[in-house]
Amino acid sequence: MSECNVDDAASNEAWVPFKDRPEWRDLKPIPQDDGPDPVVQIAYSEQFREVYDYFRAIIAADEKSERALSLTKEAAELNPANYSVWNYRRNILQELNKDLKEELKYISQVIEDNPKNYQVWHHRRVIVEWLEDVTDELKFTEKILKEDAKNYHAWQHRQWCIQQFSLWDQELDYVDRLLKEDLRNNSAWNQRHFIIKNTTGYTDEIIKKELKYSQDFIRKAPNNESAWNYMKGVLQERKLFDFPGVLEFCHELYSKQIRSPFLIACMIDCYEEMLELGKPKKEETLQKATQLCNELAEEHDTLRREYWQYIARSLASKYGADVSGDS
Amino acid sequence: MADTSRFRCLSPLFQSLLFKDDDCPTNTSIEQKAVEESVLKCYRTFRSSLDIYPDMPFLDREMHTDFLTKGLQTLSSSYECLDSSRPWLCYWILHSLELLEVIIPEERALAIANFLGKCQDPEGGFGGGPMQFPHLAPTYAAVNALCILANVTNKVFDVINREKLYNYLMRMKTKEGAFKMHDGGEVDIRGVYCAVSVARLTNILTKELSDGVADFITRCQTYEGGFSGYPGLEAHGGYTFCGIAALVLLNHTERCDLRSLLRWTANRQTQLEGGFQGRTNKLVDGCYSFWQGATFPIVHMIMCTDDDDQNLSAERWMFHQEALQEYILICCQHSHGGLIDKPGKARDHYHTCYCLSGLSVAQHFIGGSLSNEIIIGNPQNRLRPVQPVYNLSLDSVMMAQKYFGSLKLPSGAANKC
Ligand SMILES: [Zn+2]
């Protein structure tokens, strides 16, 4: 939530002090009022102080002019997280009927310099909304995601554009490309879920396809949690058991001596579901499930011992006569 | 030779916990391995210093307090990027200090309250600094900071204009049951948590304010089990905390799939490092010690009232409390005071606050009438326990309840929820 590096303060060499700007002479700057006994007081640079003194004056005068617009640019550059500046800039853009395509170009540069900032992405979104033009958006977010494939703001903007302007068609191909580059990119898996849920939905046919898709990735890297989570997400509204392939798939990996905690957890989930549905051989199933919980707790996932012991106890108390999940 | 068996990070099989890339290296696994290297280095250094200082690891209270109290007065120009988060700076510092049990002198407390008053908008809510537009995040930070200061003198509560605050919150509310962060601002689950939390603390959570909000939160729970910032996005530690804490405040925890939330959150503790990551396959970060860590007491509290009760532990949360303490104490203390994200990162007040808050959660099990302390290292590492839903000390929450509990709802707000 706090994305700013307090170690590198930007400095701008070409900055002109306001006393050397005749066009500002008519406006009286308003200093910040921190009260008589200031706290968390930032030692502002001269530039920062002056720019914001004038910014306050502009707001007080409700001035929406070219010079005010360029002042917001200066202020935003000094602190791109100042939402008041961006908000006021939007008011000016509207009032002066500015070319929004130009604004989009400008904000692209700002986002590239500050890709993890809430305000700059929100500004972009509002501009796109006003323009009702989404031509550059997919390309732009791809550019950002190329630098950081998990940038949350970029994904958020992308999802909004896709939803708002119905850009669903090519998205699965993009996700596929990203997963081929990095099968651990959880944001890409999430995007896959988002796209399918909002287009075809998880029909029987799609489920079969997606099971195979995720299982192929799991075979390549059984310790990759993202693919396991996606596979379970595919079956979320259904029962794991409606698709008997799942438990068999797990058994196949288990018999190859794979002991990924995510594999064992998935087997436990299958058994739990069998118990819930009242399938035959209840005691045997419960025993298998609690046995696997203990394997995780004692050997393959000892970090989560408390959790797995709890799962074992709660399965035993729910489905067994004897409450001894805790060994 | 010091006794190393007490520490998970020094156990003989520790190396077996290294990330398994299944002979399929990708960007994610390469970055993960680099972090594990730097964390292992910290743990090795710790092992060698243990022979000289057997009560390690040691929370350097003095240095952290120094870093914090300095920041409360003045900050260098490199903090210009936080010029719209000054109430946050107050809260991060004050909460860290309350966890460290550092007492604030009365005149200082009044000065801070006075400054926060300067950040309050005449139309309600608090901005990121004096004369900035009101914003839900600094509003949350300001109200929380005032609750802490109320332990010194509850005069500080006079700062809050409750009626206007209520109008502001109502003005931010959207049709889908969420909240804009500010006029013309973005909508996400942070806004929901901030709005509901301040409304609860100041006793203005009416039916019209809370109507439909739980619906929005529910839409944010993802197929992984955690919550996202907005429906459709990826499960994330900060947003997950916001989601589940807000459901508790709204008395709508039945709207959450607790089992999948618990599974996802439990899986966020990282095998080797012992800290928490924010999302699946992302890197460990000290601040998630709180965002993820606090979800365990919250889930425990919810389950306590269910019939699952007798299966819950009476001694521990469902994460590895020792491992988290080791990560924070050994890998996240900056050599000049303050705490950090991970080894090699710069210190800041945000990470100091949330590392310490997470450390406190890991030290104190409090389940109803049961309690259990697990303090790694020097016994003086003990911090004050936190109320996880607000991330305030229990006393600070009580100050607010005592003061605002008897006040009437703002006029125009008919029924209480
Ligand atoms: Zn962090």
| Interface predicted TM-score of the whole assembly (ipTM), two decimals | 0.96
* Count of CB atoms situated within 10 Å of the CB of B19: 19
Per-residue pLDDT band for A4 (boundaries 50, 70, 90) equals: low
Burial class (CB in 10 A: 0-12, 13-18, 19+), A29: middle
A2 vs B88: CB contact, 8 Å cut-off?
yes
- d(CA B6, CA B322) in angstroms, rounded, equals 10
Contact yes or no for A164/A178 (Cβ under 8 A): no
Tens of pLDDT, residue by residue over B2-34, are 677 789 999 988 989 999 999 999 999 999 999
Distance set, CA A132 to CA A135, A150, B14 (Å): 9, 26, 55
Per-residue pLDDT band for B1 (boundaries 50, 70, 90) equals: low
Instruction: Give the tokens for residue A253.
Output: 């990996």
- The environment of the single-atom ion ligand 1, i.e. residues with CB closer than 5 A, is B 285, 287, 341
CB half-sphere exposure, B331, CA atoms < 13 A = 31
User: For residue A86, how far is its CA from the centre of ligand 1 (angstroms)?
Assistant: 25
Q: Of B28, B86, B234, which has the smallest distance from its Cβ to A182's Cβ?
A: B28
Work out the percent of chain B whose per-residue pLDDT is above 90.
91
A vs B: CB pairs below 8 A: 246
Q: Is the pLDDT of residue A265 over 80?
A: yes
B22 touches chain A (CB under 8 A): yes
What residues of A act catalytically?
A: 116
Mutate to test the interface with B, among A184, A207, A263, A300 (most CBs of B within 10 A): A184
CA dihedral A254, A256, A258, A264 (to 10 degrees): 0
Please give the DSSP secondary-structure letter assigned to residue B373.
Answer: E
B-chain residues near A149 (CB < 8 A) = 27
Work out the angle at residue B213's Cα, subtended by the Cα atoms of residues B208 and B216, and round it to the nearest 5 degrees.
Answer: 150
Burial class (CB in 10 A: 0-12, 13-18, 19+), A30: middle
How confident is the model at residue B333, as a pLDDT? 98
How confident is the model at residue B309, as a pLDDT? 78
* Count of CB atoms situated within 10 Å of the CB of B30: 12
B414 to chain A, closest Cα gap in Å: 33
- d(CA B160, CA B144) in angstroms, rounded, equals 11
Q: What is the mean pLDDT of residues A60-67?
A: 97
Q: What value does the CA radius of gyration of chain B take, rounded to a whole number of Å?
A: 21
B71 vs A40: CB contact, 8 Å cut-off?
yes
Per-residue pLDDT band for B353 (boundaries 50, 70, 90) equals: very high
Q: What is the mean pLDDT of residues B105-120?
A: 97
Residue-wise over A41-58: b if at least 16 C-beta within 10 A, else e?
bbebbebbbbbbbbbbbb
Per-residue pLDDT band for A12 (boundaries 50, 70, 90) equals: low
How confident is the model at residue B13, as a pLDDT? 86
User: For residue A143, how far is its CA from the centre of ligand 1 (angstroms)?
Assistant: 24
For the entire predicted model, the pTM comes to 0.96
A187 vs B234: CB contact, 8 Å cut-off?
yes
- d(CA A185, CA A200) in angstroms, rounded, equals 23
Distance set, CA A109 to CA A105, A113, A284, B142, B187 (Å): 7, 6, 62, 33, 24
B348 vs A6: CB contact, 8 Å cut-off?
yes
Under DSSP, is residue A271 helix (H, G, I), strand (E, B) or coil?
helix
A35 vs B117: CB contact, 8 Å cut-off?
yes
Q: What is the mean pLDDT of residues A168-183?
A: 97
Under DSSP, is residue B401 helix (H, G, I), strand (E, B) or coil?
helix
A-chain residues near B129 (CB < 8 A) = 32
A-chain residues near B114 (CB < 8 A) = 35-37
How confident is the model at residue A327, as a pLDDT? 39
